[in-house]
Amino acid sequence: MSNLSALTGCILFAWLPEDENPHQPGPKFRPVLVVDADPEGKRLCLAYGTSQRVDQNGKGEITFRRNEIDGLAKDTKFCLGKTKWVPMTAEYFSKTTSSVGLAVIGFVPKKRTREILMRLEEVIAI
């Protein structure tokens, strides 16, 4: 993709690294929210997504219901305080070695962008 910044606000699947191994793809192909992009470094900043405890949001967390985003199979909470910078390579974004391209789920609905910004402010000093 030539314009990585266009992916900000996109929800997609990735092998998000775990804290113990920050430079290796993680063990689970999970939904993530793109919160920032570094086009020169060819990497994305991804927020952790989970379908657990979606009925309660803590500081820096936002939940999207599956009926808000067409490709979302389950209600999913994104933890904006738990992010990782990930290189734009197939090993992080392809489900299998034979698949090519991003597994895009959808985009944050425009009516929720202000809430995303508020949640980000909870976890970072602006």
Fold classification of 4-123 is SH3 type barrels. (2.30.30)
- Looking at residue 100, its pLDDT comes to 66
Map out the domains of the chain as residue ranges: 4-123
Section 48-70 average pLDDT: 94
Instruction: State how far the alpha carbon of 3 is from the alpha carbons of 37, 39, 104, in Å.
Output: 9, 7, 15
When computed from its CA atoms, the radius of gyration of the chain, rounded to whole angstroms, is 14
Model confidence at 3: pLDDT above 90: no
Measured in Å, how far apart are the chain's first and last C-alpha atoms?
A: 29
Q: How does pLDDT run across 17-42, given as a tens digit for each residue? A: 998 998 999 999 999 999 999 989 89
- Looking at residue 126, its pLDDT comes to 52
Q: How does pLDDT run across 61-82, given as a tens digit for each residue? A: 999 999 999 889 999 999 999 9
pTM: predicted TM-score of the whole model, two decimal places: 0.90
Model confidence at 95: pLDDT above 90: no
Query: CA 73: distance to chain centroid?
Result: 15
The token pair that represents 94 in the structure block:
């392809």
